[in-house]
Amino acid sequence: MFKIKIRKKVETDPAQLVGSIEQATGLARENLTWLLTGILVAVVVSAAIGGMYWKRQQDNRAAAEMLQEVLPTSPVFDRPFGNPPRRPEESRKISEVCRKVLEEFPRSSVAPQAAYLLGNTLSDLKDWEGAIKAYQDFLARYGDNRSLVPLVYQRLAYAQLSLGKVEEGEKTLAAIVTIEWAPNKDQALFELGKINEILNRPEGALARYQEIMKDYPHSPFVNEASVRIKTLDARKAATSPPTPPAPSAPSAPPQK
């Protein structure tokens, strides 16, 4: 036969029950404290991020307004020497504004434009050393700016060449050719060809001009590159020693 087990009634100790309730209440209070602390931290962090974003927006607006005062007559994205020269007083005014933007708002969205424009205006004033420093500062601080970096390299090369630093200028122009997205590779190649001509390296010059003809058929430098190729070929032909005539076949001995 099966025996039916009867569970004994467990008596609950009131003191133990009160202790359990108090422990549960303490844990709830502790968890609530952590929850409130977490919410407070999240609110503070959000407020800090919002404040930083608001400050950044304000700085961007102030810097853009300062730069806009000089930009209508001074385009930033100009190809070197593609625009009429600025008047000296205009260049000095622009350089002052650019310096102010870089000093007060170095992290603003228009700071890279100000840094580039500063180098350009110093070049306009023929302050080549100042221009070189401005362009080098740009590359150190805003070297990730894809749209301006190739133009900065080109302007830097012109400043170096203006001081007679031909080797440095050549290296700077060569750096442009290695930049995959550079929009001014054709112009850099053309300038490198001219440098090779100046340094009496006609083969190097021909290689650069031929590269323009092959890879950039729609470049504005194609026509002049073609003319220079013909000129270099003509010089090469003129300086080559004349080809000696082929020796004639020996005469047959007279028949007896």
pLDDT for 175: 97
Q: Is residue 127 part of a domain?
A: yes
CATH number for 107: 1.25.40
pLDDT computed for residue 116 by the predictor? 96
Range 206-210 average pLDDT: 96
77 and 144 within one domain: yes
Mean pLDDT of 176-193: 96
Higher pLDDT, 61 or 52: 61
> Are 157 and 100 within one domain?
yes
Do 148 and 197 lie in one domain? The reply is no
Identify whether 243 is part of a domain. no
Domains identified in the chain, total number: 2
Q: How confident is the model at residue 81 (pLDDT cuts 50, 70, 90)?
A: very low
Question: What's the confidence (pLDDT) of residue 178?
Answer: 96
Mean pLDDT of 81-93: 77
Q: Band of the pLDDT at 50, cuts 50, 70, 90?
A: low
Residue 205's domain spans which residues? 184-238
Q: Give the per-residue pLDDT at 236.
A: 85
Same domain for 200 and 91: no
Residue 88 falls inside a structural domain: yes
Among 41-50, 53-62, 72-81, 88-97, the least confident range? 72-81
On whether residue 114 sits in a domain, the answer given is yes
Cβ atoms within 10 A of the Cβ of 125, count?
Answer: 14
Percent over 70 (pLDDT), the chain: 66
User: What is the pTM for the complete model shown?
Assistant: 0.71
Same domain membership, residue 150 and residue 197: no
